[in-house]
Amino acid sequence: DFRETGYFAASEARAVGYAITLRDGQKLSAVAETGGSAVTIFLDLFRQTGDTAHPLDLVASVDTSLTPAGARLVHEVRRNGVYVLRLQPELLRSGAFTLTISTEPSLAFPVSGRDSRAVKSFFGAERDAGARQHHGVDIFAPRGTPVLAAARGVVRSISPNNLGGNVVWLSDSDRGQTLYYAHLDRHNVVAGQHVEIGDTLGFVGNTGNARTTPPHLHFAVYRRGEGPVDPYPFIYRSSARPPQITADTSELGRLARSRVKATVLASPDSRATALTTVSAATPLKVDAAAGAWFRVRLPDGTAGFVASRTVESTRRAVGRTDVATGTPLRDRPAANAAIIATAPGGALPVIGEFADYALVETADGLTAWVPSGRLK
């Protein structure tokens, strides 16, 4: 799960994307809150297709125009893969936002009083010395524990079979799939019965080929045209919660700088991929805060996360540099960058340095880049 608070400036036409690996059976929830500000936030979810001509497939969209305080995008995943959540504001409007991304199971847990920690045997495990594979998960619980409907639907069959013993086939018509419950001690439903989520279908046992194992429920998901699919993502619920935001959110939307040498990471996690390393006094545009991290942009456009403790305000200069009268003041630290003004001449405060350029501030508050000189 992930949460960040950020800021969009009206002076920039920007969007931000979040890459999320999702599995069939999960339910993605993304909530964008604006805190009552006038800006409208748009959320769009895409699936990466692997097709170079059409790399992204739009699967869901929502915005805050109808519910100004916030909007929720919910999507039940039907294909494993990488998804991209795009968040963007309406043009020419400034505003803060808080985005919370979470995943949860699309089905209710099928054994009363238990959760995914009770799953001890998983999809794809070998059975009968490799002659076949396990087409479900085994959820262990004491004999007689109620077995519950994980979705609303119709009981299609309760006819016993050699492998499953006492079984229930439940049609989950909302999703076009069938749920299979096996090794029941006894039934609590009949064929043709309509059930709601949480209704008791039967009770945990070890009938069928499970007679030599402790009581458990074999739970499986089948789809027409696909056969068995891994049921674990359908019922797994993480106990993790997004960390509290402790980074100083008063810096959002501001220009800051690195206080010390710092590593820029791909995500707000010390174990994440390192994108680059910045020296002390590197200017950073602070776009958002997540936990104890800032999402920042470097002067060359690189975006990533740095520990907020390594960032400081640019309100105090790091030194001064002599700039000749007429020196071009540029909008980026590059020789071909646009000239936004010329220097009046004299010593100017330096608030950051990057790639042989100094970021200076003129007397009228303009910030611009000049070739690095000797700091005083």
> What are the two backbone dihedrals, phi and then psi, of residue 210, each rounded to the nearest 5 degrees?
-100, 15
Task: Dihedral sign for Cα 94, 96, 102, 107, please.
Answer: negative
- Residue 36 confidence (pLDDT): 75
Look at residue 276 in the predicted model and tell me its pLDDT: 97
Tens digit of each residue's pLDDT (9 = 90 or more) over 315-351: 999 999 999 999 999 999 999 999 999 998 899 999 9
pLDDT at 130: 63
How high is the pLDDT of residue 132?
73
Sort strands 274-278 and 311-313 into parallel, antiparallel or unpaired: unpaired
Distance, CA of 71 to chain centre: 16
Separation of alpha carbons 75 and 85, rounded Å: 11
SS3 content of the chain, % helix, strand, coil (to 5): 5, 50, 45
Whole-number Cα distances in Å, 227 to 50, 68, 133, 230: 24, 43, 13, 10
In this prediction, residue 217 carries a pLDDT of 97
**Cβ pair 296, 302 in contact under 8 A:** no
pLDDT at residue 37 in the model: 78
b (16+ CB within 10 A) / e for 55-83: ebeebbebbbeeebebbebebbbbeeeeb
| Per-residue model confidence (pLDDT) at position 127 | 73
Report the C-alpha gap between 5 and 252 in whole angstroms: 8
Radius of gyration (C-alpha) of the chain in whole angstroms:
28
Give the per-residue pLDDT at 69. 77
Residues of the chain with pLDDT under 70: 128-131, 374-376
Share of the chain above pLDDT 90, in %: 86
CA dihedral for 120, 123, 128, 130, sign (positive or negative) = negative
pTM of the model: 0.90
pLDDT at 203: 98
Q: What is the DSSP string of 48-112?
A: E-S-SSS-EEEEEEEESSSSTTEEEEEEE--S-EEEEEEEEEPTT--EEEEEEEEEEESS--SBT
Distance CA 365, CA 332 (A): 17
Dihedral angle sign, alpha carbons of residues 110, 112, 115, 119: negative
